Structure 1
């Protein structure tokens, strides 16, 4: 074999330029970039060195030959012509990886079979002995890439991908690959800062990948020093003496590096479940003296600043994959920017994100940005110099801490919120209302509903029309969310953001999160439990407040029936008003449990009947009589527990006929729904006395959106 070989180093997309510089420094000659790869010439010693020391490559491929191919047969012949006895014994094991199509190759599986057959046929002995196939740990891993009629046949010296360092056996939900983390650190200037004795901190460290990679760079540890099995371990062309010399050199460098005084490298993680896995990873990497992990929220993050210590803050905050996710994370990025401005003056920072728009909301000017790919997701690394001249903030006289400056649009939105708060706040205080709608898409470009629940803010973003540019809609949403804490003087952690789209079936009732945190609020002399985080709706429909209070006023001595009762807030009002008995029906066990808690919270635990059932089926079987009935059905509903699908437009006539059959003489039925295109069946008026009361069921906070629901009072006909 030749002393010089063609090598191809593969890497994640976007790392080619960094890998080119690294590989050239490690001895690769005539190096040049390709898509997700670097190609060059090197001796076997340099090839080994690249395997051992490359922090960025996925694989090191040693090219055996290039040849043209037009058909599957010429591909077979081109592989078969090679003297495979120089590389693999007849009783060895083999794995083949194939990429590319064309030249008679329809798919990669077929291509891999042709390559395998050619190698096996060449090595088959007269006695029939031939290499076995082992896809996990073969003696030789062969790679063939086919492109535009040219086959590139290589052996994989690395074996398993080089990003798998071996220390990370436990990982979080969305970990960065180790070589991507190393690339981010290199781009962020960590090697320079490490040489200068700088510190490294990650305020959202997960299982510690950034910190471990950073410590290995600082301590001059070869990233793959601890790997025991390589793609060349059983390759017949392997020269153990060369490899042993490189390993001895790398071991000596690592020991010398670890003997130095450790740099200050610290990670903080809010999720307690990740702390021990992170510490286990650090221990496996042999860096327990260099890296420390602590449990702590972002708000408690404090890098080391004594003795003028400076360094790099690096992190990969969550960024979500949908617009609604990004909206809920705006305040996380704002808090991150605030912590950098407060606690990291003079430091450098690198924020790796798939949502650069969120990064722009940190209140800091980025002086450099680099494009990366995290798998198939395009991302950016935003670099900051945390200095006052780079702050994008405003300082109010009463504030000691600078806050992010609002855009012109955000300022307009904030002004509208303040105006509404002045008007509706007076009304709410006068009427004793704790929970009300402050803003409901008053400005069409800011399509949000903003509700106040005591000292909490619940924000729902209406999905923008398809005609609106999603990026523009996102920018406006971010402007609005940035304005909320300043305009309402509410801490960011008390603002909950959700996205409301057109719902079908029971999606509006599906769980969004699992925090299980309930807030007790008061309304009309009763106490109710709301949950602002776990579901799209909170358990309390604010627009029905007047109708609930009307039921309370009329309930004394009556038997009350609440159909599609949800969390039974109307039932609590009826019980408060002195109802002789109440019956509440809903299909959801979750919401009936919530209803039971609402009733118990007010001391109403007897004479209150809760039924888990399909409302239509329950009405067909029930024989009770009720003087007061309330029905607020969903637009659509389906469940495994019910037959068919309930459609309020199609089925409301039958629903009302069944309910009116249960209405006692002289009783009243209140029917409401929020389907915007709803039309009451005209035939109902021939059977019952019907009065639309929509206008009287809307308080001041819903006068701007008088189509939020429609309501009718229905009584038996003459």
Structure 2
């Protein structure tokens, strides 16, 4: 029997599993490629690959390759093949065409028409009869893949994708393809577990795909045995006797293996999913071999007689199904069930969000990358044993509050500590409330880690009602997390009492060492904004969706100073955040303002703040990387000029124009120099940073008068923490 070159396609990231399968099926010269593998063998090898591969999509018989520099090259390249060797004039055929990086043919439909014309013209010229075009189950299917200028012409021996086993005919929400399910099982060690008699449980089985694929693997059941159509069946060179022998061998192996299946069980809470699973199991001829029942995830547990084995599932990803928090809660609940009821088992599940896997509280092996369609996923594989268990940290304010409140049954020493916190908060409030009334301040800090044991900041926001924003500084690793939670419970319990307010108006944020993009990351989706006032200006604030509320309270004095100095001036606000300094400048009578920030969200927020104050005029909003924008503007021969600039950069940031990470200490000289280039001869630049170890390099900035005004810009409510920020007033020393 002659040997042929073949190519097997598979979903991306499944190439290694495919190559191992091909090796076991007797393929030779296997060479992995992206989303597939080339191999050699005779027709029997190709037939076995079509019948037995659990991970392949298609098996292609390579007919030839040729160069395509024009549309005619494609036509004549296809026409060089003697199609009478492969089909009869009365046969039907279909064409699959794909192109990548081709400048000649970019439309797949046009390419398919060219291929079809070449075949039809050749057959009609010889037999005066043209073959039929049939997209549904043609006698042969021609495949052409054009990569740049190189075309590969093949016969598709599978006819239709091999993942279509033939048992699934009911579509439910978020199905998983059969070959992806098989890859999950193979990578999770199911063949070895099944041989040892281990049980398989899918507690979220949906329409039963994982269950059926598991039974096929354990029962030596060829996945293609249910199919009645292959692309080679109508091929002129098809070896029917060889195929029948291979198929009969597969039938005998199924008969021998199907009665030796271990326990395979599926649960699902949805009645329609269970009905679909039962239908698919019957279609696969596996009635009474797989047990499914309607059961909620909370009721999933192994029966007494089931040997430990594999728990595997395709849970909701949170991409399309359900609420994000609901999905996170499901994973946490699932992890608790695995720990409590499946000790000694193995577990595997496919996820798209690593954070969801973390919620399980079970350490996993190195994740395996797989693709569910175009969605990149990770296959987590775990040993369910106490050594692998951990308690996930709270990731949201709501979760942290919930945990803390649940832990409010506090020991006596914790209750005493909470009372100390309440007394300190009451004392601070009495002093600061008087100061706030006298200065018409409505948003201010009333507590800032005054007691080391209670390392939180408490900010009060007052308008039509009162809100409290609590920021918990991340405790050091030496502090017992449970003790930290109990202390937090005490804080959250005492604040509403001391302030005589609703508990629902107290919001918690966990403040960790920030990455350079944390300021711009969303932490929630509540979308609730509230209006507060400051020195005649109104601002939108948000207590739930972001790490910060939209208003830095410690910058209150510098914003007022900008308002008082802005009349008739051109104002530039760099790293503008929500544009609060711009609002103050406009309120103070600035004739023009420019607001620059890298975030579309915050630029939009700044515009809303301006609109809230009904401030109209020459107000420009620019969404850009401030480092890049400033460098470009400063390099212009006739750069923009401003009378008043506020520069409040982050401590660290990434910038495409720099080879390294922006560091305020290392790079402040260049930053201030560039900003000063945009400063009018008599203008003023206010530079601020909250980097506590910052040192201004005066000597590296000649020609500038730099005055430290930090003490004057730290407000009364932050007096306990004078290093909350540093601020300088900068002017050019040489004026014209």
Instruction: Give the TM bin, normalised by the shorter chain.
Output: 0.5 to 0.7
Partner of 2:329: 331
- Measure how far apart 1:65 and its partner are: 1.3
Root-mean-square deviation (Å)? 3.5
Partner of 1:500: 526
Query: Contact between 1:91 and 1:131, CA under 8 Å: does it hold in 2?
Result: yes
1:197 and 2:204 aligned: no
- Measure how far apart 1:82 and its partner are: 1.1
SS at match of 1:378: strand
CA distance in 1: counterparts of 2:330 and 2:313, whole angstroms: 12
CA distance in 2: counterparts of 1:98 and 1:442, whole angstroms: 54
After superposition, give the CA deviation of every residue in 1:35-78 in whole Å (9 maximum; x if it has no partner). Answer: 00110101001100000000000000011112233222122112
Q: Specify whether residues 318 and 53 from structure 1 end up closer, same or farther in structure 2 by C-alpha distance, changes over 3 A only.
A: same
- Measure how far apart 1:83 and its partner are: 0.8
Partner of 1:578: none
- Measure how far apart 1:86 and its partner are: 0.9
Query: Contact between 2:99 and 2:106, CA under 8 Å: does it hold in 1?
Result: no
CA distance in 2: counterparts of 1:12 and 1:407, whole angstroms: 45
The residue correspondences of 1:91-240 to structure 2 (distance < 5 A) are 91-101=90-100, 102=102, 104-125=104-125, 128-240=128-240
| Residue of structure 2 aligned with 1:353, choices 351, 354, 372 | 351
Q: Specify whether residues 70 and 503 from structure 1 end up closer, same or farther in structure 2 by C-alpha distance, changes over 3 A only.
A: farther
1:440 and 2:507 aligned: yes
Query: Contact between 2:159 and 2:230, CA under 8 Å: does it hold in 1?
Result: yes
SS at match of 1:362: coil
TM-score by length of 2: 0.58
CA distance in 2: counterparts of 1:58 and 1:131, whole angstroms: 27
CA distance in 1: counterparts of 2:138 and 2:322, whole angstroms: 46
Query: Contact between 1:61 and 1:154, CA under 8 Å: does it hold in 2?
Result: yes
CA distance in 2: counterparts of 1:194 and 1:289, whole angstroms: 17
- Measure how far apart 1:103 and its partner are: 6.1
CA distance in 1: counterparts of 2:332 and 2:476, whole angstroms: 18
The residue correspondences of 1:412-427 to structure 2 (distance < 5 A) are 414=485, 417-423=488-494
Query: Contact between 1:326 and 1:358, CA under 8 Å: does it hold in 2?
Result: no
- Structure 2: which 5+ runs fail to align? 393-402, 408-473, 531-543, 546-607, 616-716, 718-736
After superposition, give the CA deviation of every residue in 1:554-602 in whole Å (9 maximum; x if it has no partner). Answer: xxxxxxxxxxxxxxxxxxxxxxxxxxxxxxxxxxxxxxxxxxxxxxxxx
CA distance in 2: counterparts of 1:442 and 1:82, whole angstroms: 69
CA distance in 2: counterparts of 1:331 and 1:305, whole angstroms: 28
CA distance in 2: counterparts of 1:465 and 1:277, whole angstroms: 48
The residue correspondences of 1:47-58 to structure 2 (distance < 5 A) are 47-58=46-57
- Measure how far apart 1:416 and its partner are: 6.6
After superposition, give the CA deviation of every residue in 1:418-455 in whole Å (9 maximum; x if it has no partner). Answer: 13442257589xx9x9x7416324556699xxxxxxxx
Partner of 1:264: 263
- Measure how far apart 1:361 and its partner are: 1.9
SS at match of 1:73: helix
Query: Contact between 2:7 and 2:39, CA under 8 Å: does it hold in 1?
Result: yes
CA distance in 1: counterparts of 2:222 and 2:210, whole angstroms: 16
Query: Contact between 1:71 and 1:103, CA under 8 Å: does it hold in 2?
Result: no
Query: Contact between 1:417 and 1:438, CA under 8 Å: does it hold in 2?
Result: no
- Structure 1: which 5+ runs fail to align? 400-405, 448-463, 478-497, 505-535, 538-674, 683-703, 705-718
- Measure how far apart 1:346 and its partner are: 0.6
- Measure how far apart 1:280 and its partner are: 0.7
SS at match of 1:121: helix
- Measure how far apart 1:391 and its partner are: 1.2
The residue correspondences of 1:462-541 to structure 2 (distance < 5 A) are 468=519, 470=521, 499-501=525-527
- Measure how far apart 1:417 and its partner are: 4.7
CA distance in 1: counterparts of 2:611 and 2:228, whole angstroms: 70
SS at match of 1:345: coil
Partner of 1:41: 40
The residue correspondences of 1:218-367 to structure 2 (distance < 5 A) are 218-260=218-260, 262-306=261-305, 309-321=307-319, 325-367=323-365
SS at match of 2:192: helix
The residue correspondences of 1:80-99 to structure 2 (distance < 5 A) are 80-99=79-98
Query: Contact between 2:89 and 2:127, CA under 8 Å: does it hold in 1?
Result: no
SS at match of 1:276: helix
- Measure how far apart 1:414 and its partner are: 3.8
Q: Specify whether residues 251 and 364 from structure 1 end up closer, same or farther in structure 2 by C-alpha distance, changes over 3 A only.
A: same
Query: Contact between 1:167 and 1:282, CA under 8 Å: does it hold in 2?
Result: yes
Q: Specify whether residues 442 and 189 from structure 1 end up closer, same or farther in structure 2 by C-alpha distance, changes over 3 A only.
A: closer
SS at match of 1:23: helix
Partner of 2:382: 384
CA distance in 2: counterparts of 1:204 and 1:62, whole angstroms: 39
Query: Contact between 1:157 and 1:230, CA under 8 Å: does it hold in 2?
Result: yes
Query: Contact between 1:337 and 1:364, CA under 8 Å: does it hold in 2?
Result: yes
The residue correspondences of 1:397-416 to structure 2 (distance < 5 A) are 414=485
Q: Specify whether residues 355 and 681 from structure 1 end up closer, same or farther in structure 2 by C-alpha distance, changes over 3 A only.
A: closer
Partner of 1:648: none
Partner of 1:21: 20
- Measure how far apart 1:148 and its partner are: 3.2
SS at match of 2:279: helix
CA distance in 2: counterparts of 1:465 and 1:44, whole angstroms: 58
After superposition, give the CA deviation of every residue in 1:500-550 in whole Å (9 maximum; x if it has no partner). Answer: 23799xxxxxxxxxxxxxxxxxxxxxxxxxxxxxxx99xxxxxxxxxxxxx
SS at match of 2:504: strand
- Measure how far apart 1:287 and its partner are: 1.1
CA distance in 2: counterparts of 1:314 and 1:137, whole angstroms: 35
CA distance in 2: counterparts of 1:350 and 1:11, whole angstroms: 21
Q: Specify whether residues 417 and 279 from structure 1 end up closer, same or farther in structure 2 by C-alpha distance, changes over 3 A only.
A: farther
CA distance in 2: counterparts of 1:310 and 1:194, whole angstroms: 11
